[in-house]
Amino acid sequence: MKKRFLYIVINAALLLPIFLTGCSEDPAPLADPIDANHNGFETRAVAEVFVLNCALSGCHAGASPKGGISFETYDKMIAGSDGRHTSDDTSGGHGHGKLSGIYTGGVYGGEAVVPYNPEESLVYRLITGNVEDSTLRMPYNKSALSESQILSIRNWILNGAKNHHGEVPFSNPSVRAYICSQGTDQIYVIDGDKKLVSRVMNLRTGTQIAPHNAKIFGDYYYVTQIRAGKLVKYRITDNSVAGELAGLEVPGMVELSADGTKAFVSKSSTATGSYNSIYVINTATMQLISELAIPVSGMPHGIALNSSATTLYVANLTKDRITVLNTVTGDPVIDDIVMSSGAGSVHEPMHIYVSPDDKYLYVTCRKSDKLLIYDADNGNLLKDMQFTSHPMQISIAPSGNRLYVNLMHSAEVAVVDFAGSDWAVSSLITHPNFTMLYGSALSNDGRYLFVTSSNDLNEYKPRYAVKGRLQSSNLGIIETATNQVVRILDLGAYTTGLAAR
């Protein structure tokens, strides 16, 4: 009996620590989803908003995040989305399902934030409800963020949307493009490496500005402003104003001399009345040097310079004439190229370009839907190319052997190849989101073609339309090696001219 009692006591003593341990041990703490570097964000407070509210399973996290964007880390968020769906697609969670014929497999997308500009940053617009479709407010199907959380994100973007190293994104791209949004008085700066909007300049302070066309040289870019009557010079480093010339009458297109010392400014095609001069401006002082006169008054809109900037070609839109002027003396180099006989305009030459070797003139015609090609020396017509849609702006490959011609109404880019003796269309580039193609520019290396859809008829509807914005436009980025559209970016209203480098 004593032995049995002793056996029970000994075993109980041995088991007691096990029971005590099993009852008193706390469960293992959950791993913190935010690391010591705030997952790359500038502060932990900013990281908490995105990681704890957006980077959730089945939402903006994992291998297939909604909308093609993840908020798990700063680097993933700053890379933007690459699988956004159009406004027509309402299937699936948060409308991110696939709609046959419209989903473009990673082409339509864009940036989550625009440094220094909360109102143009998609993520800020979504958390504040600044979208036409109120059901798209974020976080999706959850309570709205607190005022302090929203203020934290706003201040972070205003301060440059920095990472934990204090670096502002999209600061030094090798490829840049500057887009004029004429309808909303904005200039969109594009990071060509990331293929995202890197900055947005809001120009309007009261009356409409109407930025129309842009050109780049050295450390500056130049923008004509139709309604403001200005040519404005901006610094590339910070987009600040470096100088301007006011008092210009309906300025339209701008061309820069090869050395960047002079700017030539024409009239806007939307102007009423009759004009006969082109402004010549000193870009260092932003002072008017002179005005070059054309012999027949009309609408001198399209302009082009030869490579040495000694000859200026002027397309007179309403008179079907091309004037060739010596830029130093202002005298005609040859007699006007008369494109049609009779009093009425048959072609309406809208834009004009010179080949890199100065041999050919390329003229797009608004009324006749033609691309006319002339000998630049004597004005003889070499090629008459008929299209079914109005050819608008053109980009010429650095080699001179290929043209990219925007066909405005058919929403196509015609690829025109030059074989040394003739020109022919080799292919057409299009995309479901193209509508009323307007501006065109190639990167300096010729790798990317940028084209703007002005969306004049308001047929294009962005997925996340800004509340109260009646019309939006977009930018298409085309990889020239494959002629494939690789990105569609939402922009402001009525985008027109652009410049790239």
| 244 strand-pairing partners | 232
The candidate with the shortest Cα–Cα distance to 386, out of 370, 401, 399, is 370
**pLDDT for residue 87:** 61
Residue closest to 215 by CA, chosen among 250, 253, 175, 181: 253
Q: Are 114 and 199 in contact (CB under 8 A)?
A: yes
104: in domain: yes
The partner residues of 361 in beta bridges, in order of sequence, read: 354, 374
96, 128, 158: which is the final residue of a domain? 158
**What are the CA-CA distances from residue 347 to residues 364, 406, 416, 481 (Å)?**
9, 17, 20, 33
Number of CB atoms found within 10 A of residue 451's CB: 27
CA nearest neighbour of 423 among 394, 462, 455, 389: 394
| Structural domain ending residue among the three candidates 97, 124, 158 | 158
Q: Do 274 and 401 sit in the same domain of this protein?
A: yes
476/331 same-domain check: yes
pLDDT at 105: 53
**Are both 118 and 211 inside the same structural domain?**
no
Q: Tell me: do 469 and 372 sit in the same domain.
A: yes
Residue 4 domain-assigned (yes or no) = no
Could you tell me the mean pLDDT of each successive run of 10 residues in the chain, 501 residues long? 38 36 47 94 97 91 88 96 66 36 63 97 96 90 93 98 98 97 97 97 93 98 98 97 98 98 97 96 98 97 97 97 97 97 90 98 98 98 97 97 97 96 97 96 97 94 89 96 96 97 95
Q: Cα separation of 429 and 212, whole Å?
A: 25
CB 433 within 8 A of CB 108: yes
Residue 233 shares a structural domain with residue 361: yes
Say if 112 falls within a structural domain: yes
Tell me which residue range forms the domain holding 50: 38-158
**Alpha carbons 125 and 148: distance in angstroms, whole number:** 16
What pTM value is reported for the model? 0.91
Residue 140: the pLDDT is 84
Same domain, 382 and 249: yes
Strand order of the sheet with strand 275-282?
251-256, 262-267, 275-282, 287-298
Judgement on whether residues 62 and 105 belong to the same structural domain of the protein: yes
**Do both 302 and 414 map to the same domain?**
yes
Quick check: is 102 in a domain? Answer: yes
The pLDDT score that the predictor gives to residue 29 is: 57
Q: Are residues 99 and 218 in the same domain?
A: no
Q: What is the model's pLDDT at position 206?
A: 87
Q: How many domains does the chain fold into?
A: 2
Model pLDDT, residue 491: 97
Residues 134 and 222 occupy one common structural domain = no
Question: Do 308 and 197 share a domain, yes or no?
Answer: yes
